[in-house]
């Protein structure tokens, strides 16, 4: 077990050391900063039945879990610009394709170590060129890596003689987002982000649900009146097994990130190359990125350690970093401590 932990820690340090140097600090200051992570979907490693919400189970002791989540975003960052003839829009990030490689290692019956390595495989957009006159976005980018742990606080699995299985569980997580990404590409933060959270899930027969609450604790970064700082995280999901054995299921989930810092109205934003403020923050309103997603999940193996999940959804709010459309594909290998028992039909 100790050797597994050592390999995991060594891999984390090697990745941090090998990442390219991010933007210098002065590029993150002022009111036109690109040091904002435009992708707010931060998936968890380990067992889960949802795209965004973490599960209460952990990876089995001494086992390594793996997942790959690919996501497409449409226009997560749109600049509202002033011009002599009226206002116009510039798509700072227009289309973007990201991939997150997720690893989990089971330390014990309750503890799991987690690692997430996100990359931008392709993107297009103006970047901050309409405001600063610089270059647009690069085709690819390195994003901020995340690492941490999951601890299963409670887990209860039982089966009644006349009903399908009923389960519930609670898990606590603590992750750190390290500033290893390309901050001039809207792919990284100006500093580290601390991400504590608690998730809970439950199942009754074919129905299952989950929720997660947490926070993303970070300093404030401003982009044309929109101020991204510490955010609360709220996620809620519900699903249903479409097949009696639980290998095919559908799920609906939603998440929101209320920002705990005030926004700046357009009247307060210092003019920069004729630019006004960002999106809804022009009126100084709250910044609450929010999305919904509907997904279909299949588990081809009897053990259900392997799953493939395809989903799509869109915006619940037009705040900064909220894409109008998101498509997500996740392939997950997760040997869990408490593997889900196959659902069985109730006796007639």
Return mean pLDDT, the chain.
Answer: 85
Q: Give the residue-averaged pLDDT of 285-308.
A: 93
195 neighbors 217 (Cβ within 8 angstroms): yes
- Reduced to 3 states (helix: H, G, I; strand: E, B; else coil), residue 80 is strand
Nearest CA-CA partner of 293 in 334, 247, 236, 212: 236
Q: Is the pLDDT of residue 303 over 90?
A: no
Alpha-carbon distance 260 to 33, whole Å? 19
Classify residue 283: in a domain, yes or no.
yes
341 located within any domain: no
pLDDT-derived band at 264 (thresholds 50, 70, 90) equals confident
Domains of the chain: total: 1
- What CATH number is attached to the domain comprising 300? 2.40.160.40
C-alpha–C-alpha distance, residues 110 and 102, integer Å: 19
* Res 220 pLDDT > 50: yes
d(CA 49, CA 238): 10
- d(CA 291, CA 275) in angstroms, rounded, equals 27
- By residue range, what is the domain housing residue 155? 2-20+37-333
Token pair for 199: 């998730």
Report how far residue 231's alpha carbon sits from residue 218's, in angstroms, rounded to the nearest whole number: 8
Q: Average the pLDDT over 6-34 and give the result.
A: 59
Q: What is the pLDDT of residue 23?
A: 40
pLDDT at 225: 85
Yes or no: say if 141 and 171 are a contact pair by the CB < 8 Å rule.
Answer: no
Does the pLDDT of residue 11 top 90, yes or no?
Answer: no
Residue 27 lies in a domain: no
**C-alpha–C-alpha distance, residues 62 and 109, integer Å:** 10
8 A C-beta contact, residue 217 and residue 229: no
Q: What is the CA radius of gyration of the chain?
A: 21
Q: Which residue has the higher pLDDT, 162 or 254?
A: 254
Greater confidence, 155 or 165? Answer: 155
> How do strand 141-142 and strand 64-83 relate by DSSP bridges?
unpaired
Torsions phi, psi for 4 (to 5 deg): -65, -40
Q: Is residue 31 part of a domain?
A: no
Task: Give me the mean pLDDT over the 28-45 stretch.
Answer: 92
Nearest to 254 by CA among 204, 309, 311, 172: 311
pTM for the structure as a whole: 0.86
Structure confidence at residue 263 (pLDDT) = 86
* Contact status, residue 194 vs residue 187, Cβ threshold 8 Å: no
Asked whether residue 345 is domain-assigned, the answer is: no
Q: Which of 161-165, 275-279, 336-340 has the lowest mean pLDDT?
A: 275-279
Length of the chain: 348
Q: Tell me whether residue 305 is in a domain.
A: yes
Query: 111 lies in a domain?
Result: yes
Taking a C-beta distance cutoff of 8 angstroms, is the pair 299, 258 a contact? no
* Burial zone of 134 (CB within 10 Å; 0-12 exposed, 13-18 middle, 19+ buried): exposed
Model confidence pLDDT, tens digit, residues 89-128: 899 999 999 999 999 999 988 999 999 999 999 999 999 9
pLDDT at res. 227? 92
Residue 192, helix vs strand vs coil = coil
Assess if residue 258 is contained within a domain: yes
């Amino acid at each position: 077990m100790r050797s597994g932990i050592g390999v995991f820690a060594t891999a984390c340090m090697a990745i941090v050391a090998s990442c390219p140097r991010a933007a210098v600090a002065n590029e993150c200051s002022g009111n036109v900063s690109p040091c904002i992570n435009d992708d707010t979907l931060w998936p968890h490693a380990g067992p889960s039945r949802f795209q965004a919400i973490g599960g209460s189970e952990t990876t089995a002791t001494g086992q390594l879990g793996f997942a790959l989540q690919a996501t497409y975003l449409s226009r997560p960052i749109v600049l509202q610009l002033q011009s002599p003839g009226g206002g116009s829009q510039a798509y700072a990030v227009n289309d973007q394709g990201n991939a997150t490689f997720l690893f989990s290692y089971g330390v014990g019956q309750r503890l799991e170590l987690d690692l997430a390595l996100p990359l931008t495989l392709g993107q297009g957009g103006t970047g901050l060129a309409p405001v600063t006159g610089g270059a647009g976005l690069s085709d690819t980018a390195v994003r901020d890596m995340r690492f941490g742990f999951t601890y299963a606080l409670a887990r209860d699995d039982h089966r009644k003689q006349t009903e399908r299985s009923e389960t519930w569980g609670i898990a606590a997580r603590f992750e750190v987002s390290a500033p290893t990404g390309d901050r001039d590409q809207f792919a990284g933060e100006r500093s580290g982000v601390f991400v504590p959270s608690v998730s809970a899930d439950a199942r009754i027969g074919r129905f299952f649900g989950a929720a997660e609450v947490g926070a993303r604790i970070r300093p404030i970064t401003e982009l044309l009146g929109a101020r991204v700082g510490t955010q609360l995280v709220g996620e809620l999901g519900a699903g249903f097994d479409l097949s009696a054995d639980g290998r095919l299921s559908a799920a609906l989930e939603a998440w929101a990130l209320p920002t705990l810092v005030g926004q700046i109205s357009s009247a307060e934003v210092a003019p920069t190359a004729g630019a006004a403020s960002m999106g809804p923050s022009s009126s100084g309103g709250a910044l609450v990125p929010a999305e919904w997603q509907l997904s279909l999940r299949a588990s081809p193996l009897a053990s259900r350690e392997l799953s493939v999940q395809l989903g799509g959804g869109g915006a619940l709010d037009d705040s900064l970093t909220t894409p109008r459309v998101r498509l997500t594909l996740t392939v997950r290998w997760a040997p869990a401590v408490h593997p889900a028992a196959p659902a069985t039909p109730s006796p007639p």
